């Protein structure tokens, strides 16, 4: 199983609101049974209640909710937006990459966060991620193959 298959990598050419972007990044995970619709909506509600806490910097946000709010399996989905999305409609939080994370336990959560963090601290890999034009190019930035993050 791969954490980020091509079917969960999307590109948006049209401008989106931040809620549309969160719902769009979450939809493949809902469709594939990794999370419930409630999980996606809890990701939106969490930002509304607690501020833009999932803005990771560099134009990347990682919307997520607590496992008990509807996470059913481990996985990631990604949406790259051509037009930056203003998280919480705030100009100081422009986002062009949304990564939705679903983890059912702490070990899987940490494993995925380590792989994501390795990309985010590397400006070259962030640039590669933002320049990627295909799902396969996105996946290669994370080095996630068919067996998950360790190959």
Residues forming the active site:
64
The answer to whether 35 and 29 are in contact (CB under 8 A) is: yes
CA triple 90-142-43, angle to 5 deg: 35
CA nearest 101: which of 38, 43, 144?
43
Pairing, β 75-86 against β 94-102: antiparallel
| DSSP code at position 103 | -
CB atoms within 10 A of CB 37: 12
Within a 13 Å sphere around the CA of 119, how many CA atoms are in the beta-carbon half?
A: 23
């Amino acid at each position: 199983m791969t954490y980020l298959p091509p079917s969960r990598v999307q590109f948006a050419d049209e401008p989106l609101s931040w809620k549309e972007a969160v719902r769009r990044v979450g939809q493949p995970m809902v469709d594939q049974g990794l999370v419930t619709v409630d999980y996606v909506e809890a990701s939106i509600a969490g930002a509304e209640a607690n501020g833009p806490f999932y803005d990771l910097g560099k134009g990347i946000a990682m919307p997520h909710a607590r496992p008990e709010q509807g996470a059913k399996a481990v996985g990631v989905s990604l949406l790259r937006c051509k037009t930056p999305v203003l998280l919480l409609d705030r100009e100081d939080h422009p986002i062009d990459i949304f990564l939705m994370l679903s983890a059912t336990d702490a070990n899987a959560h940490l494993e995925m966060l380590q792989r994501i963090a390795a990309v985010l601290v590397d400006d070259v890999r962030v640039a590669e991620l933002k320049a990627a034009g295909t799902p396969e190019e996105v996946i290669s930035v994370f080095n996630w193959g068919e067996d998950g993050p360790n190959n």
